[in-house]
Chain A
């Protein structure tokens, strides 16, 4: 099912008397094509969960429209939208068995019990918990509970599946496994899925389309690789990628971008103050390179090494660059010269932090 979000705004009344309302989501416009996995990504408090709850109908928007396949569902009650929602802490009913939990949405639809049981078993098979049906949620591990929650959301064959930080309660290893699982289930069912996360790695790895948000505003929408390769502004560039991008203060003079006194790249732009962002993998060791870094120490990680260095123009205390482990560095520390890959360097306007 195609989802269109048009001028969606949510304002919460201020806690203080006569204070300005808190705007959680500000004039959001997204078109979500059918059958895709969409990630809403942003730091906490950016309005991604509010957006999800507005899609589910648990929160009503202050203004704007939500359309499912051209049908306006903005004021429709949650149970009539045909959605499945997986909560962050799963919210499995503790007094019901796994089977009863999965069957609960079906009993509300007045489906005969035998049919409901068969459907519940199908949903359980899809998430591979068919042998746990008789257990209570308290007798399951976190990962199993999460599968039950997904099965409960999927059993009524929703048009849209909404996942609210579904992996945040799982340990690191299980998280990797489960996110592949979610991707598989989404592919098998072909249900349009919206997925909220603050973990950029998680979002990048499984999303078809990623929506980066900050303080209620959508920063950028696109495929994960496209956003990584071409961030719209400094925030997006900073938010994506581990280790994070290195930001330097710089300027443009006479068609050259400078960090300090060193020319990095030729550009066809007028003279101005800029921020220069260089991805960690964008550094090449070169004795004749353009950029001079004062290397503090080198962390060996096997496949490659992480060079931690300092630079007076850097906005962060250290500059981190990833170098292939085959490259021989002259010493463990000291001043070294590096070249940069042009496609890994981004220039941002210093005032608006917009990409140039």
Chain B
């Protein structure tokens, strides 16, 4: 400590001498020892400036002795400029005090690091380990490379089960349809709710109830709506339980549809298949379960819209639908974009709905699987390398989609 102090004192003495040396540089070259010393002093000053946060705006080196100044603005306002004429001790304590905010967030930061940042970083690293087997302590992986990604994208994992592209397509189709549809429905319901006066509170409560229900329980209820229980012959004889939806369709003489068994309705060919009946079941479920939260958000957004805009629009002769699309929707566009972005993000990560509807196998051997379902499948089978690769890909996809929707919404959304 004492040694260091001595060093800095010397450095301070050096400063005026340095200027002199610069002036007479041509005549007397500084010795090698002096050069090293100067370089050391300069770098120390740089560090000191950075910590104190001063002198960075001043051209050249740190201005040392600067008396406290008062600046008088054009409007006569007096501003006392910060005084840099402080002792080192004072500076140190000031710095500590200015950084004390870190102390308050420290518990959260530590937990975040342990349970979020470390696992994410770990997953990023492990995704590039080939044939990673955590149980084998002596030889946990074969080497580094993109093998996991290649196999995941090719569907060549040697484990059977869902195809990555199939899962991607499932997730995409369900999300792209269910999110806009549910936002649209939620907007219409919220506008309707906003325009009624009498039993508004009661309706609000009823509409919000599904939000309090567990996703798996809801999935099980929906499964009974769609599920056909019985063999083919029983169906033909008309003794099977066709499920609520098929019963209703039966009233209109529509033959029963096997909603939850995607293989029966292969549409198209190749490894990637469309399963519209099953998609429809999932989309209906997703829209229904997503509605309450969206209605609540949009309803509260509508309540905060100044009613006079509607009066003005009526005077201007706008029709009801024009008021909805040209006045109401833009006025609550920040909330719509929030719902859209979080909806897309949630949709890309959906899992429980599929498990609730199709069971833990997610249809016939994971073919109704989603991206998260795909990842879980490989964690289940002990092939964590593929799971890591899959989650990294999912991460990139969600990030790209969020980025795009952010760009789009920046043009469309007006914050008032």
Contacts and interface: CB of A to CB of B under 8 A. Distances in A.
B335 to A, nearest CB: 13
A164 to B, nearest CB: 10
Contacts of A85: 311-312, 315
Contact of B315 (A83, A93, A95, A138): A83
Given A91-B306, A95-B414, A108 B317 contact: yes
A321 B333 CA distance: 58
A144 interface: no
A85 B308 CA distance: 11
B327 to A, nearest CB: 6
B316 interface: yes
A79 interface: yes
A156 B333 CA distance: 28
A91 B416 CA distance: 13
A95 B306 CA distance: 14
Contact of A109 (B308, B312, B317, B330): B317
B314 interface: yes
Contacts of A94: 331, 414, 416
B316 A138 contact: no
B308 to A, nearest CB: 4
A152 interface: yes
Contact of A138 (B314, B330, B416): B416
B309 interface: yes
A110 to B, nearest CB: 10
Interface in B359-416: 414, 416
Nearest to B331: A95
B213 interface: no
Given A94-B331, A95-B414, A138-B416, A87 B316 contact: no
B63 interface: no
Contacts of B312: 85, 87, 91, 93
A108 B319 contact: yes
Interface in A52-85: 56, 58, 77-80, 83-85
Interface residues on A, range: 20 to 34
Query: Majority SS of interface residues in chain B?
Result: helix
A104 interface: yes
Contacts, number: 59
Nearest to B319: A108
B318 interface: yes
Nearest to B311: A58
A152 B414 CA distance: 21
B81 to A, nearest CB: 33
A128 interface: no
Interface string A324-342: 0000000000000000000
Contacts of A87: 308, 311-312
Given A91-B309, A93-B309, A58 B318 contact: no
A83 B322 CA distance: 19
Contacts of A109: 317
A78 B317 CA distance: 8
A84 B317 CA distance: 10
A89 interface: yes
Interface in A92-107: 93-96, 104-105
Given A94-B416, A95-B416, A78 B308 contact: no
Given A91-B306, A91-B308, A95-B333, A56 B315 contact: yes
Contacts of B313: 104
Contacts of A136: 414
A299 to B, nearest CB: 30
B286 to A, nearest CB: 30
B331 A84 contact: no
Nearest to A77: B314
Contacts of A56: 315
A93 B308 CA distance: 10
B315 A78 contact: yes
A58 B416 contact: no
B316 A105 contact: yes
B319 A78 contact: no
B299 to A, nearest CB: 20
A62 to B, nearest CB: 19
A108 B318 contact: yes
Contact of B311 (A91, A95, A96): A91
The 4 closest A-B pairs by CB, nearest first: A79-B317, A95-B414, A95-B330, A105-B316
Interface of A: 56, 58, 77-80, 83-85, 87, 89, 91, 93-96, 104-105, 108-109, 136, 138, 152, 156
Interface of B: 306, 308-309, 311-319, 322, 326-327, 330-331, 333, 414, 416
Given A79-B314, A93-B331, 7 more contacts: A58-B311, A78-B315, A85-B315, A94-B416, A95-B414, A136-B414, A138-B416
21 contacts: A58-B311, A58-B314, A78-B315, A79-B316, A79-B317, A85-B312, A87-B308, A91-B306, A91-B308, A93-B327, A94-B331, A94-B414, A95-B333, A95-B414, A95-B416, A96-B330, A105-B315, A108-B316, A108-B317, A108-B318, A109-B317
